[in-house]
A = this chain, B = another copy of it.
Amino acid sequence: MSGRRRRQGGSAARRAAVANAQIVHHPEIKRGIPLMEVTNQEGVELIHDFAMRVAEQIGCDFQDEETLGYWRQTGAEIDGERVRIGRDELLDLIGKIPSSYLHHAHNPERTVRVGDGQAVVSPSYGAPFVRDLEGLRRYATLADLDNLQKLNHMAPTVHIAGGTIVEPVDVPVPHRHLHMAYSGLKYSDKPIMGNVTARERAKDTLDMLKIVFGEDFAANNTVTTSLINANSPLVWDQTMLDSLKVYALNNQAVMCSPFSMAAASTPASNVGTVGVVLAEALMAMALTQIIRPGAPMLFGVPAMTVALNSGAPVHGSPDSAMVQFLSNAMARHYRLPHRAILNVATSKSGDMQAAYDSMWGLFPSMLSGAD
């Protein structure tokens, strides 16, 4: 065989190897190093006590009559929409939440265990804009979402297909959620996230998942994880509660994530912020255990601060990092699965600041053991 033919053979073989290459998807990240702690057990107990006093003495607004009906099944004190609950009963309810759960994918090989100290990675969530290959920043479309789902499907270090990776504004709102769920199910074989923008949209998402997984399987297993936000301070609105009820009733996981903006919607101090959002999240999670004991739920704080000169949310500050460390420590205290924000930036473009901001989320989240 001549040198020339050998080279051709090598090149063809390399092309074939690339074409046939199998993507080796990573399993859940298991920690090989100790957790980074910024406080000790005494600090954890103090924050716990603060959160309990908020739940007992101040309480949270639940702006939904059906939800208040659930609370009436407990010893909670209800005053209009305001609900207060004693710490013993609150902790009893929280104790029913499993410390981890399987988030099933329609490809069983992509099913992941969420919680118990191992980490799974999910794509971004909720971006209204994309920057395309020509550098143009514009509203996202369904074609963008499809492309991002394809990329996530191929990414070996991403475990979750995600949900609202971008908001596809070219699809009318009333049936947008159907196309979004379809995008995740068609272009990715990883576990998907559900819609939370209305009760019937959450139900539609579940109905689509039943088609894919089968009615029986979907009824008895967790096939989606969704995200709801409290309107901090101390308000859960009807839209979020409607979706939470649908998913909880069907044994589907929900991240109960106060959308805190420290110094605006929660106290300016990091410890104060953690205490308030902890009370908010624990009360919503306790509610789900009245509806369906044992339904999987996640605690989580996006941990933003506010630029006091503009009112804009700030990602990637040292304060956000501290809130992340503390809220992870609190999640472990209650043995709750915990979501964190890894890579978000205040910067509007892909510049140095965006990377600095992102790393201020990534390091604290990973080092403090987010799930």
CA distance A116 to B144 in the complex (A): 53
Query: Which B residues lie within 8 Å of A170 (CB)?
Result: none
Q: Mark A181-224, 1 if CB is under 8 A from B, else 0.
A: 00000000000000000000000000000000000000000000
A154 within 8 A of partner (CB): no
The answer, yes or no, to whether A79 is at the interface (CB within 8 Å) is no
Known contacts A34-B37, A367-B36: does B359 contact A355 (CB below 8 Å)?
yes
Name the B residues within 8 Å of A353 (CB-CB): 355
A143 at the interface (CB under 8 A from B): no
A50 within 8 A of partner (CB) = no
Contact B352 A359 (CB under 8 A): no
A132 at the interface (CB under 8 A from B): no
Residue interface mask A134-154, B partner, CB < 8 A = 1: 000000000000000000000
Interface string of A342-371 (1 = CB under 8 A from B): 000000001111111011100100010000
In angstroms, Cα B33 to Cα A39, docked, is 7
Contact with B along A18-49 (1 / 0, CB 8 A): 00000000000000011011111000000000
Q: Which of B350, B352, B354, B367 contacts A367 (CB 8 A)?
A: B367
- The residue of chain B having its C-beta at the shortest distance from the C-beta of A321 within the complex is B363
Residues of B within 8 A of A352 (CB): 350-352, 354-355
The distance from the CB of A335 to the nearest CB of chain B, in whole angstroms, is: 22
Task: Chain B residues near A38: list those with CB within 8 A.
Answer: 33-34
A359 closest partner in B (C-beta)? B359
Determine how many copies of this chain the complex contains.
Answer: 2
| Cβ of A158 to closest chain B Cβ, rounded Å | 18
Cα separation A65 to B68 with both chains bound (whole Å): 86
Closest to A350 in B: B352
State which of B33, B36, B37, B359 has its C-beta within 8 Å of the C-beta of A356.
B359
A275 to B63, CA, bound (A): 61
Give CA–CA (A351, B351) in the complex, Å: 6
A363 neighbours in B (Cβ, 8 Å): 359, 363, 367
**Contact residues in B for A33 (Cβ distance below 8 Å):** 38-39
Using Cβ atoms and an 8 Å threshold, which residues of chain B touch A358?
356
Report the minimal beta-carbon distance from A14 to chain B, rounded to whole angstroms: 15
The residue on B at minimum CB distance from A349 is: B352
The CB with the most chain B CB atoms within 10 A, among A40, A353, A367, is that of: A367
CB proximity of A354 to chain B, nearest CB, Å: 6
Give min CB distance, A365 to chain B, whole Å.
12
Q: How many angstroms from the CA of A157 to the CA of B299 in the assembled complex?
A: 36
A359, B316: Cα distance in complex, Å: 12
Within 8 A of B (CB), among A96-133: none
| CA–CA, A251 and B326, complex, Å | 44
A32's closest neighbor in chain B, by CB?
Answer: B38
Query: What CA separation (Å) do A38 and B367 show in the bound complex?
Result: 10
Residue interface bits A215-242, CB-to-B below 8 A is 1, else 0: 0000000000000000000000000000
A residues near B, CB below 8 A? 33-34, 36-40, 350-356, 358-360, 363, 367
Q: List 15 A-B contacts (CB under 8 A).
A: A33-B39, A34-B38, A34-B40, A36-B36, A36-B367, A350-B352, A352-B354, A353-B355, A355-B355, A356-B358, A356-B359, A359-B360, A359-B363, A363-B363, A367-B367
Which 3 residue pairs across A and B have the least CB separation, nearest first? A355-B355, A359-B359, A352-B355
